[in-house]
Amino acid sequence: MPSANPLADSLGNPLTLDDAASLPLVDDFVMGFISSEARAVNLLAAAGNDASPVVQAYCATLHLFAESREAVASARPFLAKARAGASRATPREQRYIAAIEAWAEGDIARAIALHAEQAREHPRDLVSVKLGQYHCFNTGDCPGMLKLALAVLPHAADVPYVHGMAAFGYEQCHLMREAEASARCAIAMCRKEPWAHHALAHVMLNEGRLAEGLAFMESVSDTWIGLNSFMVTHNWWHMALFLIDLGRDAEALAVYDEHAWGVVKDYSQDQIGAVSLLARLELAGIDVGRRWDDVADRLRQRQADHVLPFLDLQYLYGLARAGRPEAGVLLRNILAFAPDAPASTRAAWQRVCVPAAHGLVAYAQGNLPAAIEGLGTALPRMIEIGGSHAQRDLFEQVYLDALVRSGTASSLGVAQGILQQQLNGQPESLRLRRQAAAVYARLGLGQLTGGTAAHA
């Protein structure tokens, strides 16, 4: 029977618990989840002793975040227990259970709608808000991310992590001043707010404030302890991007080796972080040695995942770049899966992921015309597969390199236009300066170096 004593989490949300002793573990999940801390998984220890619907639904959430083909099967027993006891749960808990069920069923549109409803009716259910943002992010709905955060901000302004959620929503909507203000507000309230650090890194990268961005991330990196593997590796990933653009190649490689790869090598986000960082290092002309082999060994398990198109594309490139035959298997599996993907994400799989997949494999195999065709088709709609602007920039970098390496006058002309616009926005980037200078030389405009052209 539920405890006779009223129980609530640290945010004031009433809880229906069979065992009051579970409360500290529930709080580890709630506060750990919104602060990107590893303690969120502590709740799994209560799963066998407390059949409370919300405990079971939170455990299902943790399993789904594995982002693997086994994740749904692992989550289902917890969801079954949550559903069996839902009649004795609060309306907030019932809606949360329904949202997790929708996620497990692949009905992301319904999941987002339920999280939006929760934000209106229970604005301090910040787990629901952050999870809703996660789904919006994965479907390219940047305004949806921002709306969720702003809906609850008046009711949870005392929680620094809400300001961090708002900051990233603002940044993905290209509202840089608002994003920076929100991130700095979060950090002033709590110096250890890694999601706000992450949002501010995005702002500084977007605005070309590369040296400032690197200095900022270095100044707060001492707080990146006790975080989940995604958050710690991803913030170091951002630091590596600044180092690459600033021409500090050896330091960028060291960040990859010491911080960005190797925390949880079997986790989806750690894997795509490694793939995208190795690719960026190579595109900047940095020799990565045999590092692709270790990553590709871990990607072999991903041949039939199809959890998110954004993930599949990076698994595919990692396998193809390492020359693994599993790349062909994954490509065929993507082509077979796309027509039958869940309705709410089918268009992204068919119209974006499929042509991009062809393009990435072609690029890895040296077929530049096919790479240009496939990626050129996908790029205008790439936001639909999710990921941040900074993450999706990888696909444009690959496309750009294919254009340059193809060497035709028309391809070089397109490359010049892309490069010069990027350089105008990031005049500190030595990487872009080198690339632009090489293109101008091949166009017979060698008098225009990247730096000169950037200020022309």
Q: Strand, helix or coil at 15?
A: strand
Q: Is residue 280 part of a domain?
A: no
SS3 of the chain: helix, strand, coil, percent, to 5:
75, 0, 25
Q: What is the pLDDT of residue 5?
A: 45
Q: Is residue 191 part of a domain?
A: no
What total of structural domains would you count in the chain? 2
Q: What is the pLDDT of residue 450?
A: 56
Q: Is residue 392 part of a domain?
A: no
Q: Are 245 and 450 in contact (CB under 8 A)?
A: no
Among residues 109, 140, 171, which one ends one of the domains? Answer: 140
Question: What is d(CA 397, CA 281) in angstroms, rounded to the nearest whole number?
Answer: 11
How far lies 101's CA from each of 48, 93, 405, in Å? 20, 12, 47
Q: Are 378 and 395 in contact (CB under 8 A)?
A: yes
Per-residue pLDDT of the chain (456 residues; tens, 9 = 90+): 334 447 999 999 999 999 999 999 999 999 999 999 999 999 999 999 999 999 999 999 999 999 999 999 999 999 999 999 999 999 999 999 999 999 999 999 999 999 999 999 999 999 999 999 999 999 999 999 999 999 999 999 999 999 999 999 999 999 999 999 999 999 999 999 999 999 999 999 999 999 999 999 999 999 999 999 999 999 999 999 999 999 999 999 999 999 999 999 999 999 999 999 999 999 999 999 999 999 999 999 999 999 999 999 999 999 999 999 999 999 999 999 999 999 999 999 999 999 999 999 999 999 999 999 999 999 999 999 999 999 999 999 999 999 999 999 999 999 999 999 999 999 999 999 999 999 999 999 998 875 544 443
Q: Is residue 303 part of a domain?
A: no
Among residues 125, 140, 155, which one ends one of the domains? Answer: 140
Q: Is residue 105 part of a domain?
A: yes
Among residues 113, 140, 167, which one ends one of the domains? Answer: 140
Q: Is residue 294 part of a domain?
A: no
Q: Is residue 352 part of a domain?
A: no
- Identify the domain containing residue 17 by its residue range: 1-140
Q: Are 126 and 156 in contact (CB under 8 A)?
A: yes
Alpha carbon 209 to its chain centroid, in Å, reads 22
* Long-range CB contact pairs, 437-440, < 8 A, 24+: 438/404, 439/404, 439/412, 439/415, 440/416
Say what the pTM is: 0.96
Q: What angle do CA 93, 96, 101 make, to 5 degrees?
A: 125
